[in-house]
Structure 1
Amino acid sequence: MDHVLQPVLPSHFAVIAGWLDSPEATLRWAGPGVPIPLPADAFAAALALPMRPGWALLDADGTCLGFGQFWQTAAGSTHLGRIIVSPQARGRGLGRALMMALCAEAVRRTDAVQLTLKVYRHNPAAVALYRDLGFVASEEASTPELLFMARRTA
């Protein structure tokens, strides 16, 4: 099935916020300071859009199935964050499709030579996916809870 990555639209906000089914999920995905529940009208401000542009992964019917953000953190370095796939669509390879499209868009828009991300250590599926996509863990930059990973783009 073909998927397309496009800038997130206000019409996607309620859908994505609906994937956050608990305070723990909201904190884990969005970080501290994001309202729980996350109202659609607070979505853009809570996620610092457009300073940190958001991207939606859509299926052929235009259904939003994934979301992610990226922002430049230093010259040549772009951070990927708030990466999520609809709970109803997990297990179908959409995380890989989302990450491949998000990485390509980040490089295209920021001329990044390095992509970085943080992932919870207790999320082995995500850690394995990121490793498979070429991200390498850096224990020096990690915490007991979060694994910092980076990938060269060239």
Structure 2
Amino acid sequence: MDHLLQPVLPAHFAVIAGWLDSPAATLRWAGPGVPFPLPADAFAAALALPVRPGWALLDGDGTCVGFGQYWRTTPGSTHLGRIIVSPQERGRGMGRILMRALCAEAVRHTDAVQLTLKVYRDNPVALALYRDLGFVASEEASTPELLLMARRTA
């Protein structure tokens, strides 16, 4: 099945927000200050979409199955964040498809020579995926809860 990464649209906001099933899940995924439940009409502002482009992964039927953002942090470095796959699609390789497409998009639209991301240390599935995609942990820039990972783009 073909998948397409496209800029997130207002029609996707409620779908993505619906994947967040608790205040704890919302805080973990979106960070402090993002409300639960996340109203569709507050989605763009809460996630700072004007300055942190959001991307939706669509399946062959046009259903939104994943979401991620990227933003430039310093010259040459772009951060990937708020990466999420629909709960119904987890375990089917959607994270890999989403990450490959999101990384390519970030490199294409920024001056990135390095991509970074943060992952919770207690998320072994995501950790394994990111390592497999070439991201390397940076312990000195990490916290006990979150691991900073980076990958060169070339």
State the TM bucket, normalised to the shorter chain: over 0.9
Matches within 5 A, 1:89-100: 89-100=89-100
User: 2-side partners of 1:60 and 1:139: how far apart?
Assistant: 39
Aligned with 1:128: secondary structure?
helix
Cα shift at 1:124? 0.4
Aligned with 1:13: secondary structure?
helix
Aligned with 1:118: secondary structure?
strand
1:25-58 CA distance string (max 9 Å, x none)? 1011000000111000000000001100000000
Name the residue aligned to 1:21.
21
Specify the code of the residue in structure 2 equivalent to 1:96. Answer: R
Name the residue aligned to 1:41.
41
Name the residue aligned to 1:2.
2
Cα shift at 1:2? 0.6
User: 2-side partners of 1:53 and 1:114: how far apart?
Assistant: 17
User: 2-side partners of 1:135 and 1:50: how far apart?
Assistant: 27
Aligned with 2:50: secondary structure?
coil
Cα shift at 1:98? 0.1
Aligned with 2:98: secondary structure?
helix
Name the residue aligned to 2:63.
63
8 Å CA contact 2:20–2:26 kept in 1: the answer is yes
Aligned residues: 154
User: 1-side partners of 2:138 and 2:24: how far apart?
Assistant: 25
1:124 matched to 2:107? The reply is: no
1:50-85 CA distance string (max 9 Å, x none)? 100000000111100000000000000000000000
Alignment RMSD: 0.4
User: 2-side partners of 1:124 and 1:141: how far apart?
Assistant: 19
Cα shift at 1:111? 2.4
Consecutive unaligned residues in structure 2, runs of 5 or more: none
Aligned with 2:148: secondary structure?
strand
